[in-house]
């Protein structure tokens, strides 16, 4: 498991929070640190610099550099891992914007046919399941292959991580390890 016909499987991680002390960023870093052998996990930086999607600037002459870099990072990857909180009952705009950029050109966006898993931490008791369900719906429509076997929505963030950070929570680490292994397993199936 975890290899793409003997090659290293690459997983690009998009984080839905731009906050310095983001718990979801820490979750993404756990995915990097707990990648199985043969799997390289990298966080895609700079999502906050990607302009809001507009067809006016989505052209070879106008394409903003941060959007081009986002597309290249995902094109180089075999799979995507979305790690996000919930904002007002759905996914944060920064993540939705990234998905919109990755969905174009229509039918051949960088996300096309790539396995995508979703996880995250949120304050509410349901752990951001609305955001995670909406993210799965959106990436599926954008052309990705949603990995249904991954369901990580960790709730009660303010209490649970008041003193213990996600990386020191054995259950969280186990969930992230399982998520990355499952995602990598899908890369092997798709390859």
Ligand X SMILES: Cc1cc2nc3c(=O)[nH]c(=O)nc-3n(C[C@H](O)[C@H](O)[C@H](O)COP(=O)(O)O)c2cc1C
Give the Cα separation of 155 and 125 in Å (integer): 5
Q: Is 19 in the site for ligand X (CB under 6 A)?
A: yes
Rounded to a whole number, what is the largest CA-CA distance in the chain? 49
Minimal distance, residue 72 CB to ligand X, in Å: 25
Q: Which stretch binds ligand X (CB under 6 A): 3-11, 45-53, 82-90, 95-103?
A: 82-90
Q: Is 119 in the site for ligand X (CB under 6 A)?
A: no
Region label for 46, one of left (φ > 0), alpha (ψ between -120 and 50) or beta (otherwise): left
Select 85 or 109, whichever has its Cβ closest to ligand X: 85
The answer for residues whose C-beta is within 8 angstroms of residue 133's C-beta and 6 or more apart is none
Q: Are residues 41 and 31 in contact, defined by beta-carbon separation less than 8 angstroms?
A: yes
Binding to ligand X in span 137-176, by CB under 6 A: 157
Q: Is 123 in the site for ligand X (CB under 6 A)?
A: yes
Binding residues vs ligand X (CB under 6 A): 17, 19, 22-24, 85-89, 122-124, 128, 157
């Amino acid at each position: 498991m975890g290899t793409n016909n003997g090659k290293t499987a690459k997983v690009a991680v998009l984080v839905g929070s731009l906050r310095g002390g983001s718990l979801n960023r820490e979750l993404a870093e756990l995915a990097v640190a707990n990648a199985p052998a043969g799997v390289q996990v990298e966080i895609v930086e700079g999502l906050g610099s990607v302009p809001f999607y507009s067809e006016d600037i989505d052209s070879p002459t106008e394409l903003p550099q941060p959007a081009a870099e986002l597309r290249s990072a995902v094109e180089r990857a075999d799979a995507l891992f979305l790690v996000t909180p919930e904002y007002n009952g759905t996914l944060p705009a920064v993540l939705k914007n990234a998905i919109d950029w990755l969905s174009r050109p229509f039918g051949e966006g960088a996300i096309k046919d790539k396995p995508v898993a979703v996880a995250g931490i949120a304050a509410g008791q349901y752990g951001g399941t609305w955001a995670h369900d909406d993210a799965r719906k959106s990436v599926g429509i954008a052309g990705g292959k949603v990995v249904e076997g991954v369901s990580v929505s960790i709730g009660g963030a303010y209490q649970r991580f008041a003193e213990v950070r996600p990386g020191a929570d054995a259950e969280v680490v186990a969930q992230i390890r399982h998520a990355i292994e499952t995602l990598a397993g899908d890369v092997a199936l798709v390859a």
